[in-house]
Chain A
Amino acid sequence: MCGIAGKINFSYDAEPSSIDLLKNMVSALKHRGPDEFGYYRDKNAGLVHARLSIVDITSGQQPMANEQNTLWIVFNGEIFNYLELRKILENHNHKFKTKSDTEVIIHAYEQWGLECFTKFNGQWAIAIWDNRNKQLILSRDHVGILPLYIKEENNKIWFASEVKAIFTDPEVKREINIISLQQIFTFWTTVTPSTIFSGIYEVKPGTTVVYSIEGKRHEYKHWQLSFTNDKELKNKFSFKDSVKEFEHRLLEATKLRMLRADVPVGSYLSGGLDSSVVAWLGRQTKSGTFQTFSIRFEDLQFDETKYQKMLVSALNSTHEEILVTKQDIRQVFQDVIYHTEKPILRAAPAPLFILSKLVHDSGFKAVTTGEGADEFLLGYDIFRLTKIRQFMANQPESKIRPLLLLRLYPYLSDSLFKVKGVSFEFWKKNFTELNRIDYSHILRWETTSKLANFFSDSIQSQLHNDVIEFVQDILPENFLNLDPVIRAQFLEIIILFSGYIISSQGDRMLMSHSVEGRFPFLDIDVINFLNKLPIDHKLVGLNEKIILKNIARGKIPDEIIKRKKQPYRAPDAASFLLGDHEDYVTEMLSEKNLKNFGIFDPKKVSLLYNKCLSKFSQNPDGSQISNVENMSFIGILSTQLLYKQFILTNPKTDNNILFKTKIDLVKDYE
């Protein structure tokens, strides 16, 4: 995988981008592609590429052109079906000079135009510069596995894999967007296409944007998330047939991701069902050694070592693991925020940052993971909760129906939670209002939005009245016709999954140490197939991911299939409360810095900080710190760090970068 960036000036009297700017842009992305650097430059356009060599290591350099040198491409990602597409293109008389997937993209674009993006199975952020027609084409994969940001101003376009590359241009202003901050403090992430920075947007997942010299901007959807409602299904598949077809597609998806690489591909093992199945299928695709990687936690409440061990012996894999402590999380957290480029409410990305370092240090450049299964196979509690609330709404007065909540939250029947009559009240909020677009997510979003209480008065006065409007704007027209469980799934995929799970916990943590993630559950043939199945092929009663459990049986250990789903979590506030030494944490949460940055109210933050410290001193496992307190603490700390690293500080650059590929059409270049 790689990093891409560029600046296009569409003005007729445009000055070409300086080599210094191109060096700065590419050096900001060095962690994404440390192997080789390249640039292309003409009067209007400057493109750069930082390469992590995985496919066609000897001749896949970028920027790359078509035969006439009229189309120039920089590309981050993998087109896994490139060999099949290449055959088709060769039949159309396209001649290839390299063995890379990059070249396939160029010829596919020549052959099919923008339609080409509907033929790709893969993960991508692509920029194509058409220097004859003066057009810039930017495209991003179906669900947004890979990042791509843009800024438009005065006839100029900047684009990059990460915002920090855009920020290396001194012409670009760096400011926090307050409404985006409010979105994060509600939804856990911004709502596409916003980013936390004013004036910087992301290319929406599944979208291609075309800019032309006349200043026109066109947006095309090459893929749309859609589900078939149960009533519209014509019973094409029996459950048994579904299982068979799913297994076939998932195996094909895993093969493409294990074998289409010129370097070995390892596997993450969390100890859960999803990564176990992916690793097991991966194991079947090749003989010889098989490499796995795991995170272990010193805190036993988060640790899954027992299940990881079972898998390692079942797979007979060569295994590397790393034990993560609270101190480790504190140590890396500044760097984590440098890479997420957005505030986060959980510390969970930090151990993944540490894990990708282990992968890198072990000499691996690519890994498969189980990401996507919980979203597309209805694995999360929020889907089961939506089902229970719907069931409660059928007989709102019932005292029996809410007892089902104990199945989801067994702790409600413990000790002091005998106040369960009280506790149930929380889950009854708006539970009969099935036609709200936020029906499934209202509890999470309202709980999280309490965090806005910590904003300073000046920020509070700039908040939007109703942030749900931003979600409404990106929903399809038929949204309310969908089953509430599918609606929950839809919201989960376009918001949390896209903006946090595969970004802050995914690409950003992997690429922080030059590791490419490959995700069989996000294969487009797998997704399209699953989205056409009836709900009860995925969630039966309160039993989740049922179709996946069916293919897992007899392959991976039964204990892993039967274990209660453990959400991936890491120690949150507790990671930052040990010891009384001064470091960046005390610095960021000091009254002086809170006041100077102006985002949070120092008094309120001090009350929270002291409450967390006091709870931590009584119980160093952090278990007494509530969900809202944890989210508030991490949200405040990460926002302060973001402000310091991106708004107050100029981006890190390295002017000693040496370009290996130089395509310079500007004559006076020495």
Chain B
Amino acid sequence: MNKEEIAITIANYIKKNFLFDEKKDIDHNISLYQSGIIDSMGTIELVSFLENTYKIRFDDDELIAENFDSLNAISNFLYNKLQKIT
């Protein structure tokens, strides 16, 4: 599983679950929070989705802005975390 695949999986989830539109494109660098795609309630949904999909658990100190702000940030962080586990 590479970073791009992770990014696409998350993008599809976000499109269906937050934009309700599977045809829409999301810029992988756009801030998901500043653009309002994900709100504070959405953070819970996204984190649960990632934990369930990738069978992982996030520590409190991993739940920080730098790791969750854009599709690229999330896939980078997740890729590195998954690398460490394997």
Binding site for B on A (CB under 8 A): 411-412, 416-419, 421-426, 428-429, 443, 446-447, 450, 453-454, 601, 604-605, 607-608, 611, 624, 626-628
User: Contacting A412 at CB < 8 Å: which of B40, B44, B47?
Assistant: B40
- Is B12 in the interface zone, CB < 8 Å from A? no
Complex contact A424–B65 (CB within 8 A): yes
Complex contact B34–A428 (CB within 8 A): yes
Contacts of A628 in B (CB 8 A): 39
Complex contact A417–B33 (CB within 8 A): no
User: Contacting B64 at CB < 8 Å: which of A416, A422, A446?
Assistant: A422
Contacts of A424 in B (CB 8 A): 65
Known: A419-B68, A425-B65, A425-B69. A447 touches B40 (CB 8 A): no
Contacts of A421 in B (CB 8 A): 64-66
Complex contact B47–A416 (CB within 8 A): yes
Nearest A-chain residue to B68, judged by Cβ: A422
User: Could you tell me the distance between the alpha carbons of A561 and B53 in the complex, rounded to whole angstroms?
Assistant: 48
Complex contact B44–A422 (CB within 8 A): no
Question: Distance in Å from the Cβ of A397 to the closest Cβ of chain B?
Answer: 14
State the majority secondary structure of interface residues on B: helix
Nearest B-chain residue to A429, judged by Cβ: B34
Contacts of B19 in A (CB 8 A): 453
- Is B54 in the interface zone, CB < 8 Å from A? no
Nearest A-chain residue to B44, judged by Cβ: A416
Question: Distance in Å from the Cβ of B31 to the closest Cβ of chain A?
Answer: 6
Known: A426-B36, A453-B20, A454-B20. A419 touches B41 (CB 8 A): no
* CB-based closest 6 A-B pairs: A421-B65, A626-B41, A425-B33, A604-B20, A419-B63, A607-B20
Complex contact A447–B39 (CB within 8 A): yes
Contacts of A425 in B (CB 8 A): 31, 33-34, 65, 69
Nearest A-chain residue to B24, judged by Cβ: A453
User: Could you tell me the distance between the alpha carbons of A608 and B47 in the complex, rounded to whole angstroms?
Assistant: 20
User: Could you tell me the distance between the alpha carbons of A600 and B26 in the complex, rounded to whole angstroms?
Assistant: 22
User: Could you tell me the distance between the alpha carbons of A607 and B19 in the complex, rounded to whole angstroms?
Assistant: 10
Complex contact B40–A417 (CB within 8 A): yes
Question: Distance in Å from the Cβ of A427 to the closest Cβ of chain B?
Answer: 9
Known: A421-B65, A453-B19, A604-B21. A426 touches B43 (CB 8 A): no
Beyond A426-B34, A628-B39, 15 additional pairs, beta carbon < 8 A:
A412-B40, A416-B43, A418-B63, A419-B43, A419-B63, A419-B64, A423-B43, A424-B65, A425-B34, A429-B36, A447-B39, A454-B20, A607-B20, A624-B41, A627-B39
User: Could you tell me the distance between the alpha carbons of A450 and B65 in the complex, rounded to whole angstroms?
Assistant: 23
User: Contacting B16 at CB < 8 Å: which of A422, A601, A607?
Assistant: A607
User: Could you tell me the distance between the alpha carbons of A601 and B21 in the complex, rounded to whole angstroms?
Assistant: 10
User: Could you tell me the distance between the alpha carbons of A426 and B36 in the complex, rounded to whole angstroms?
Assistant: 7
Interface 1/0 per residue, B47-86 and A, CB below 8 Å: 1000000000000100111101100000000000000000
Complex contact A611–B33 (CB within 8 A): no
- Is B9 in the interface zone, CB < 8 Å from A? no
Interface size on B, residues (CB 8 A): 23
Complex contact B36–A416 (CB within 8 A): no
Complex contact A418–B21 (CB within 8 A): no
Q: List 17 A-B contacts (CB under 8 A).
A: A411-B40, A419-B43, A419-B63, A419-B64, A422-B33, A422-B43, A422-B64, A424-B65, A425-B34, A425-B69, A426-B36, A426-B40, A428-B34, A429-B34, A453-B19, A607-B20, A608-B20
Complex contact A426–B64 (CB within 8 A): no
User: Could you tell me the distance between the alpha carbons of A608 and B44 in the complex, rounded to whole angstroms?
Assistant: 17
User: Could you tell me the distance between the alpha carbons of A385 and B43 in the complex, rounded to whole angstroms?
Assistant: 21
Known: A607-B16, A608-B20, A624-B41. A450 touches B36 (CB 8 A): yes
Nearest B-chain residue to A625, judged by Cβ: B41
Contacts of A447 in B (CB 8 A): 36, 39
Contacts of A626 in B (CB 8 A): 39, 41-42
Question: Distance in Å from the Cβ of A619 to the closest Cβ of chain B?
Answer: 12
- Inter-chain contact count A-B, CB under 8 Å? 68
Complex contact B34–A417 (CB within 8 A): no
Contacts of B16 in A (CB 8 A): 607
Complex contact B33–A426 (CB within 8 A): yes
User: Could you tell me the distance between the alpha carbons of A566 and B34 in the complex, rounded to whole angstroms?
Assistant: 27
Question: Distance in Å from the Cβ of A637 to the closest Cβ of chain B?
Answer: 15
User: Could you tell me the distance between the alpha carbons of A624 and B64 in the complex, rounded to whole angstroms?
Assistant: 22
Question: Distance in Å from the Cβ of A209 to the closest Cβ of chain B?
Answer: 39
Contacts of A605 in B (CB 8 A): 20
Nearest A-chain residue to B33, judged by Cβ: A425
Question: Distance in Å from the Cβ of B9 to the closest Cβ of chain A?
Answer: 18
User: Could you tell me the distance between the alpha carbons of A626 and B63 in the complex, rounded to whole angstroms?
Assistant: 20
Complex contact A446–B36 (CB within 8 A): yes
Question: Distance in Å from the Cβ of B56 to the closest Cβ of chain A?
Answer: 15
Question: Distance in Å from the Cβ of A412 to the closest Cβ of chain B?
Answer: 7
User: Could you tell me the distance between the alpha carbons of A424 and B34 in the complex, rounded to whole angstroms?
Assistant: 9
User: Could you tell me the distance between the alpha carbons of A354 and B75 in the complex, rounded to whole angstroms?
Assistant: 50
User: Could you tell me the distance between the alpha carbons of A627 and B16 in the complex, rounded to whole angstroms?
Assistant: 17
Nearest A-chain residue to B16, judged by Cβ: A607
Interface 1/0 per residue, B5-37 and A, CB below 8 Å: 000000000001101110000000001011010
Question: Distance in Å from the Cβ of A540 to the closest Cβ of chain B?
Answer: 28
Contacts of B42 in A (CB 8 A): 626
Complex contact B20–A419 (CB within 8 A): no
Nearest B-chain residue to A608, judged by Cβ: B20
Complex contact A418–B60 (CB within 8 A): yes
User: Could you tell me the distance between the alpha carbons of A422 and B46 in the complex, rounded to whole angstroms?
Assistant: 13
Contacts of A417 in B (CB 8 A): 40, 43
Complex contact A426–B39 (CB within 8 A): yes
Contacts of A423 in B (CB 8 A): 33, 40, 43
Nearest A-chain residue to B42, judged by Cβ: A626
User: Contacting B69 at CB < 8 Å: which of A412, A422, A624?
Assistant: A422
Contacts of B68 in A (CB 8 A): 419, 422
Contacts of A624 in B (CB 8 A): 41
Question: Distance in Å from the Cβ of B15 to the closest Cβ of chain A?
Answer: 10
Nearest B-chain residue to A450, judged by Cβ: B36
Q: Which of A419, A423, A425, A454 has the most CB of B within 10 A?
A: A419
Question: Distance in Å from the Cβ of B13 to the closest Cβ of chain A?
Answer: 12
Question: Distance in Å from the Cβ of B64 to the closest Cβ of chain A?
Answer: 5
Contacts of B31 in A (CB 8 A): 425
User: Could you tell me the distance between the alpha carbons of A608 and B21 in the complex, rounded to whole angstroms?
Assistant: 10
Question: Distance in Å from the Cβ of A98 to the closest Cβ of chain B?
Answer: 57
Nearest B-chain residue to A409, judged by Cβ: B40
User: Could you tell me the distance between the alpha carbons of A608 and B18 in the complex, rounded to whole angstroms?
Assistant: 9
User: Could you tell me the distance between the alpha carbons of A423 and B68 in the complex, rounded to whole angstroms?
Assistant: 10
Complex contact B41–A627 (CB within 8 A): yes
